[in-house]
């Protein structure tokens, strides 16, 4: 599941793109615009991000920004969505390489992946994963979380026996919500990630399982 797969569908207002890109350079443009948005968010915060800053940093013009995104908020939404998608990819990679045998270890992978994102992806701490989790369906499209968290659910379902799929999806959802909230807290306390707070996050998830 690639980033383009994600943004080319009918998404909610946060994350929408105006036109599906056809030529290859367009995808690169979108990527560059989102990179620029991340950098700007990391520098000045979400509120003070302007579309002009994004355009300039991406080496594009204002018009180009608005070719791909209906408005300023959609840029932030797409950035947020991409961050979430990257986090999921990192999680899947980690799960597949370490092959945890306990639920606890599996969630440990998710936390490691999230911590890594906070440390390496500019602006990741400023966006709310919850904007992508538990999002109601819009105009007939599946909720972003369902489409995007699918790979995780599959891994967990294959590795661990859970009574039914709904329960598993819910528990994943709840766990991700907690991890996100607690890690954001950890990275607000300390920009490098407060170790005690991260440990507390692990403890909470362990207790929950």
From candidates 39, 42, 46, 60, binder to DNA by CB under 7 A? 60
Give the chain's count of helices (H) and strands (E).
Answer: 9, 0
* Binder among 130, 138, 142, 147 for a second copy (CB under 8 A): 130
Residue 49 belongs to what H/E stretch?
A: none
SS3 115: helix
> CA of 91: how far to CAs of 44, 75, 111, 156, in Å?
28, 24, 8, 12
Nearest distance in Å: CB 15, DNA: 14
Q: Strand, helix or coil at 13?
A: coil
Q: Does the footprint of a second copy cover residue 188 (CB under 8 A)?
A: yes
- With a CB cutoff of 8 Å and minimum separation 6, the contacts of 184 are 125, 128
Cβ pair 47, 76 in contact under 8 A: no
Taking the least distance from each CB to a second copy, the nearer of 36 and 135 is 135
Question: Considering the rule CB under 7 A, would residue 204 count as an interface residue with DNA?
Answer: no
Shortest Cβ distance from residue 191 to a second copy (Å)? 9
Out of 61, 98, 102, 192, point to the residue binding DNA (CB under 7 A).
Answer: 61
Interface with a second copy includes 180 (CB under 8 A)? yes
115 binds, among a second copy, DNA, none (CB under 5 to 8 A by kind): none
Nearer to DNA, 64 or 145 (CB): 64
- CA 100 vs. chain centroid, Å, equals 22
Among 24, 47, 63, 97, interactor with a second copy by CB under 8 A:
47
Query: What is the nearest approach in angstroms of a second copy to the Cβ of residue 96?
Result: 28
Among residues 116, 109, 98, 92, the alpha carbon closest in space to that of 187 is found at 116
Cα 86–92–95 angle (5° rounding)? 140
| Residues within the interface to a second copy (CB under 8 A) | 47-48, 73, 128, 130, 133-136, 170, 173-174, 177-178, 180-182, 184-185, 188-189, 196-197, 200, 203-204, 207-208
């Amino acid at each position: 599941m690639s980033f383009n797969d994600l943004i080319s569908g009918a998404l909610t207002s946060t994350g929408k793109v105006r036109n599906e890109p056809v030529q290859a350079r367009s995808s690169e443009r979108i990527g560059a615009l989102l990179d620029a948005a991340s950098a700007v968010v990391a520098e000045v915060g979400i509120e003070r991000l302007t579309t002009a800053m994004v355009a300039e940093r991406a080496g594009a013009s204002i018009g180009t920004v608005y070719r791909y995104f209906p408005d300023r908020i959609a840029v932030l939404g797409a950035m947020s969505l991409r961050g979430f998608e990257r986090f999921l990819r990192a999680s899947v990679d980690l799960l597949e390489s370490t092959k945890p045998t306990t639920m606890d270890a599996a969630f440990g992978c998710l936390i490691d992946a999230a911590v890594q994102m906070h440390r390496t992806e500019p602006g990741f701490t400023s966006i709310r994963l919850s904007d992508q989790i538990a999002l109601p369906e819009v105009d007939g499209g599946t909720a972003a979380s369902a489409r995007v968290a699918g790979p995780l659910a599959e891994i967990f379902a294959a590795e661990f026996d859970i009574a039914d799929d709904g329960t598993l999806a819910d528990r994943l959802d709840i766990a991700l919500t907690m991890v996100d909230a607690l890690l954001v807290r950890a990275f607000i306390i300390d920009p490098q990630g407060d170790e005690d707070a991260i440990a507390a996050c692990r403890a909470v998830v362990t207790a929950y399982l």
